[in-house]
Amino acid sequence: MSRLLFAFMTAFAAAAVVAAVAVSFDIASRFGAHPLWSETVVWIGLALALCLTALALRSRSLAWGGAVTSLLAGAVSARFGKQIFAASFAENGLAGRFWYFGWIGLCTGFIALIALTFLHNAQRSVPPAER
């Protein structure tokens, strides 16, 4: 098994552990996600974060930029979506979708940043000939 594959497996395992801890302690709902779908957004975010991490094979800067953009856009979308959804007494469906997809983006960005950090640290020890 090559060292690069080991680095990706380490990053994927770290992302899975972070997602499992977030689900088991219900961290998403404690920070503002709806309790009915707080677990779902973490698992969807994990799948998308692993795709972003795999993108690092082609372009590291694109993967890092995608993770940061997903985190920031998701946070803004979730924040304002929740405010507008609550102010409309749960009648504004579009705001509810922004709240939901914002949380997916937030979880994607957070988990991807952790996985990319693990991948970066593992790749620093790989000789340039194997990259």
In 3D, which of 87, 55, 92 has the Cα closest to residue 70? Answer: 55
Domain ranges of the chain: 3-130
pLDDT digits (tens, 9 = 90+) for 40-99: 999 999 999 999 999 988 899 999 999 999 999 999 999 999 999 999 998 999 999 999
Would you call 20 helix, strand, or coil by DSSP? Answer: helix
The pLDDT-based confidence of 22 (bands split at 50, 70, 90) is very high
DSSP tag of 119: H
The alpha helices in 36-92, defined as continuous H runs, are 38-54, 60-87
What is d(CA 115, CA 8) in angstroms, rounded to the nearest whole number? 9
Q: DSSP for 96-111, please give it.
A: HHHHHHHHHHHHHHHH
pLDDT digits (tens, 9 = 90+) for 103-125: 999 999 999 999 999 998 887 77
Estimate to the nearest angstrom the gap between the alpha carbon of 6 and the chain centroid. 21
Estimate to the nearest angstrom the gap between the alpha carbon of 35 and the chain centroid. 18
**pLDDT computed for residue 36 by the predictor:** 93
Task: Indicate if the pLDDT at residue 126 is higher than 90.
Answer: no
The pLDDT-based confidence of 39 (bands split at 50, 70, 90) is very high
Query: For tokens 């593992």, what's the residue?
Result: 122
**Angle in degrees, 0-180, between the axes of helices 3-24 and 38-54, rounded to the nearest 10:** 170
